[in-house]
Structures are given as C-alpha cells and as structure tokens.
Amino acid sequence: MEEIEKRAKTIKYLKGDIWIIFLDIISVNAAYYLSLLIRFFVGGKFYTSLRTLPYIYSKFAPFYTIICIIIFFLFKLYGGMWRYAGISDINRIIGASVITSIIQVIGTLLFVQRMPLTFYFIGAALQFTFITIIRFAYRIVIVERRRISKKEADALVVGGGEECHYIVRLLNNGLTYRPVCVVDKNSIGRMMDGLPVYETLSDAIERHDIDCVFIADLDMSMEEKESIHMICGQRNIPLRDYTSFFTYTGENDSFYDLREVIQGPQNDKHIISFSPPDISDSEISEVAMTLRSGWITTGPRTKLLERRLAAYIDTGDARMDTELNPDRWKNRVVCLNSATAAEELNLRILGVREGDEVIVPAYTYTASASAAIHCGATVKFVDIQKDGDPVTHMPEMDYEQMEAAITSKTKAIITVDLGGIVCDYDRIFEIVKKKKALFTPLESDGTPLGDLSSRIQNSIGRIAVVADCAHSLGASRIYKGEKKYCGAIADFTSFSFHAVKNFTTAEGGASTWRPIYKVDNKEIYKFYQLLSLHGQSKDALSKAKAGAWEYDVIGPWYKCNMTDIMAAIGLRQLDRYPKLLERREQIIQKYDALCDELGFSHLYHHIENMDSSNHLYLVRIPGISTEKRNLFIEKMSEQGVSTNVHYKPLPMMTAYKSLGWKIKDFPNTYSYYENLVSLPLHTLLSDEDVNHICQAIRTVMKDIAA
C-alpha cells in the first residue's frame, strides 16, 4: 500500500512537468544530431566513410535519452528547480549536463564508435543551452501571463523552498490573488517563479502595493511571525499563515494539496456545502488585532458590538458611528455566547419560573422550547397554520390555536421568525391584549432579580411576547404603520450568531428588549450582565481599573458572556452585512424562478409589508412522501449539492415525546415537514453554483419521478 501511495505521489508530482519532459527528449536528441551535422556533414553529405553514422547512432540515442531523463530527475530538474528558474540554480543544469556528457562519451565508445572530442563538446554545449532555454522560457511565460492577469489582489509570499513555490503556484492558478513578490533572506537577488525576491517584508511592501501576505516558511520562529503580524497590522494588510497546513511524509518532504484552502475545492465532482461561514480578511485581521491587544474576554470590542447592534436594530444602518453618541446606544443590547443563553436569560429577566406556562410553536428548533424548560416552566406546543402563512408560506403558528392555549398561567409566547421571515406581530399583540384579563403579574420575592421581574411584568401588564429571532437579524416588518426591525418589535428578543447564520461570531447571540415603562434600561442591562457572569458585580473590564479589584456575587448564576474575540468577528461582519443580505436576495430570486417553473411551494421572503433577512430557503415538493423527500436529498448529494430539512418537529423528538407530546396532535406541522427540503443559501455561492443547484434539482426530479 505504501509503495502504491508513493507511486501515486510521484505521478502527481510530475504531472505538471510532462510537457517539459517532452521538450527535454527533443532537446537531448537534437543536441547530438546537430553535433553530428556540424562535425561530419560537409558539402551536403556525410563523409563517405561515415554515411552510416546517423543510423548507427540512432540505435544508441533511445538509451541515452532515458538515462538523461533519469539524471535530470535525480538533479531535481522536474517538479522543483525549473519552476524557480533562477540564475543561481543553473549549477543543477551544469551538473546534469556534465554527468550526461560523460555517459555520452562512454556510450558512443561502447555502442557506436570513437568520436572526435569536438563532437562531444558541441553536443554537450548544445544540450546545456537547450535545457537552460526551456526552463528560462517557462519563467518568461509565467511572468508574461502574470503581467496580463486580471486578478483582484496582489499577494506577497514569505518563505523559500518547495512550500513557497507551492503557495505561489496555487495563487497563480486561483482567482483571487496575484503573487507579485517573495520575501526570503536566503535567496536575495534571485527570481523565484518569475517573482523578485526581497530580504525584508518592509522592503517588499514599499516596492509593491500589497493586498495580502502569505506565510509559507516552516522554519520561521514565533518571534519572526510576530514581527510580520505587527508590520501587517500597522499597514492594515491581511495576513494568512499556511505553514500549519503542510504535512511532511517521508524523505521526499512532500506535502498535501492546499488547493481547497487557497483556491477552493478542485475535485472533478463539484461539491456545494449547505451553509459555510462567510469570513473575509477583515474579520481575520480584527481577530488578530484582538489577540495582540491583550484583551480577549468580554471587553471593549464586545461593548462596541452591543452599541452598533442597538443602532442597527433601531435604524437599519449597519455602519452607523455609534461613538459620536455612545450613551444613546448603550444598555440596549447584551451580547452572549449563544442564542439559547439569550432566550433563557430573556425568560429569567421576565420572571418566568416553575408553575408558569410558555406557548411555543411545534415547528421550531429545540432551543425555543428548552429555554423555558430550563426555567422550570411548562411548554405548551401549538400547531402551525395549514401549509404555513397564506402569503409567505412560513410555518407560522395558528393564531386561533395560540389564543385558545392561553390560560391564567401563561406568562410568555415564544414567536419564531423562521428563515428570517417576520411573524404577524400585529395579530399576536392583538391577541395578548385581548387576553389581558387572564394575566396575573409576578409578585416580588424580595430578591433583586425577583423585584426587577415583578416590576417588568407589572409594567407590561399582559403576557409577554418573546421573539426567537435566531434567523432574522436585519429583517423588518410594518408594525403599527411603521417600519420596525426585528429586536424592536417584541417585548424581548434573542438573536443567534452561530456559524451557520447570516451574521456570525462563530458562536454567540444577543438579547434585546423594548423600553419598559418605569423600568430603566440600565437596570435591565445590569441584570443581564449579572446573570451571564456568575452573578459577579463587576466584569473583568471593570476590575481592570486601578484599585477596582473588589467585587460581590449577587446570585449563584450562570456563565454565558461573549468574548472580544467573538465580538471582533461580529464587528467586521456588521460592516459587510448589508451586502451579504443583498447577495442572499439575488440567490433567492433565482430559486424563486426555478420553484415557479417546477411548481414547488416556497417561502416568499419579500412582500409588501415585510422584508426577510433571507436566512433559509424552504421548498415543499408537491405529491411526495417523506421517503421520496429523503431520496431527493440523497440524490442531490450525489449531484454534489448538500441540502437539509428545517426542522423535524419537536413533538417527534425523544425529549419531547417523553414529556407526553405526540406528533399526531399537530397535523399541519407534520404535513408541512413531510415533503420539505432546505436548499443551500449562503454568500459563498457563485452564480455558477446556483445554476448548478438548479440544474441538479431538475435532474433529480426527473429521476425520482421515473
């Protein structure tokens, strides 16, 4: 097995050099045939006594050619040096030429006849010249190709040897970066892959307009890397370190293919992921600066992200400079480590506890219900409208059933803006106000949190509307005649910033709330901080001030704060967010056209009074069973397209079945689920990817219909 793998690697190693080998075969034969002509061809013919010489020599030539190729390989003229084609590397060509010339002398003496010394000198000189020209011609070609290239950004590669060459070649073959120079203190003055080599990074940056720096030096120390980080940070140049991707395998020091890292997948089969995160160099740079800042837990970046999210939720402006008036935006949003934590803290601030009931749609993810269970409340599931909302087709609660489920124990209704489509909050608030007489607010138990919860419930004076907006940051709806963004509609709202969401901090989430009569935002914000940091009266940022070490623990609570590393990603994601939403809408338009063509039911993300955040694209395939739906998903995977189902209803899950829930009690929910498929919808999809998905759907539909 090892021998087979070794052969495979050798073949892969030489695959790109086949045409060079072909030219070498021509060159070594042409060199010595020309030498024959120059030495013995006079007056239009060979000397009479030597007229059979070309025929005799031709019998030796194939053996000599094979030997030359082997020696060239041993001198690394394939897969290595010729790709650099630097002046200092000519010694390899000279060495190979000397060895092959000696073999030429010995071979002709044994198999042909003794030749004059001039024949050998001329042949060796011509062979050396041809082999050198081939390699330098390659360098000239790639330099010219690079000159006319129209790639987006200029890249600099730090390092030498095969790793550096490999990165340069992948960048050349990719679509994003154009390598323009190399930094290698051991190779100053030479050309590497047709690129100038500099001694220092600063020197290279001064001479070229660099957009990104790649590290490809396995021997680089941490001190050297830190220096490069500092230089790039000062000039705001993104930095990528790919040394950790190289894996050495044996004495040949070969390394695995980095094409998926730099260029994307290059497999023959086109693979489209369902929901990868869209992370750009700006997020990477911000995280790097955070790590170098020395402050990586909850700190200034988390607080800045909270203010910027507050401004975005209020105004729809993702790039507002909140620091012109920070007091306006603080104490409005709390960033946490997950949406689940945000949902639970919303209910705990509200005062939901054992003996209370919380209404939840049966069609949602488990976090919508588990947060209430964590608080000790009883979950009451409600079926969705048949085939979803009549306009958007979103699996929205049946509001008549929701109204019927309200009792004197109901403290909150969890609304779910699934897929980024906003619920009908006018109808929801109309119902909870109608049922106001059934509501009894919590009495204070004398504790600080209990007192706050009591005042909140008394101020609201009805069942609270608690929105699960995990999918819907940036979505909006006309509410009470005015455009409102999610986070500014419900009484309390939770957002998810998980890796698969439109807006990500890797993991993470946030809580926000509408202003509550006679309850100060500052006090509410303070209790979110207490609940998320063990009940500790001061966070790390506050304790870092001179002489401010002492703190108290108000309650034995939880640990679910967001870190500045996560917030760093979020800050740069928020800069890009409007463009990300715009790209998602473009993809949705293509899917809409396909679904209308095929007769699929699908979500409508943009209607007269509502704009979605374009998070999920759900389609229902008419006339198919759950088994055929699963077959559709399997065959789409065979076409290289990953699909999903959002969601398997909660009453079908073991945890909720054990609580007594049965899916047969939710016929609309099951009917919606049984022929449902979620299509890939993310901003890393190219137009070609979307076209491929659409064609794959057409192909698979023909297959399962047959």
Instruction: Flag the least confident range among 161-175, 407-421, 468-482.
Output: 161-175
Q: What is the pLDDT of residue 41?
A: 63
Please provide the DSSP assignment of 179-232 as one string: EEEEE-TTSTTSEETTEEEES-HHHHHHHS--SEEEE--TT--HHHHHHHHHHH
Give me the residue label for tokens 């909660």: 650
Q: How far is CA 83 from CA 13, 72, 110, in A?
A: 12, 14, 36
Compute the average pLDDT of residues 101-130: 87
pLDDT higher than 70, residue 558: yes
Give me the residue label for tokens 């309850």: 519
- Residues 425-461 have pLDDT tens digits of 999 999 999 999 999 999 999 999 999 999 999 999 9
- Residues 391-400 have pLDDT tens digits of 999 999 999 9
pLDDT higher than 90, residue 326: yes
- Residues 316-325 have pLDDT tens digits of 999 999 999 9
Which one, of 506, 470, 502, lies nearest residue 584 by Cα?
502
Look up residue 124 and give its two tokens: 């060796």
Q: What is the pLDDT of residue 262?
A: 45
Q: What is the pLDDT of residue 161?
A: 76
Q: Are 570 and 497 in contact (CB under 8 A)?
A: yes
Strands (E), 103-189: 153-158, 177-183
Residue type, 389: D
pLDDT averaged over the chain? 87
Domains, in order of start, for the chain? 2-141 (no CATH), 149-262 (3.40.50.720), 300-620+644-679 (3.40.640.10)
Q: What span, in angstroms and rounded, lies between the C-alpha atoms of 682 and 155?
A: 27
Compute the average pLDDT of residues 182-192: 81
pLDDT higher than 80, residue 621: yes
- Residues 70-100 have pLDDT tens digits of 998 888 787 544 444 555 567 788 889 999 9
Q: What is the pLDDT of residue 138?
A: 58
- Residues 628-682 have pLDDT tens digits of 999 999 999 999 999 999 999 999 999 999 999 999 999 999 999 999 999 999 9
Alpha helix ranges (H) inside 75-89: 81-84
Q: What is the pLDDT of residue 549?
A: 75
Q: What is the dihedral of CA 300, 304, 306, 311, to 10 degrees?
A: 170
Q: What span, in angstroms and rounded, lies between the C-alpha atoms of 704 and 697?
A: 11
Q: Are 361 and 416 in contact (CB under 8 A)?
A: yes
Band of pLDDT at residue 261, cut at 50, 70 and 90: very low
Q: What is the pLDDT of residue 294?
A: 87
Band of pLDDT at residue 44, cut at 50, 70 and 90: low
pLDDT higher than 90, residue 697: yes
Compute the average pLDDT of residues 262-291: 78
Q: Are 431 and 399 in contact (CB under 8 A)?
A: yes
Look up residue 68 and give its two tokens: 């030359």
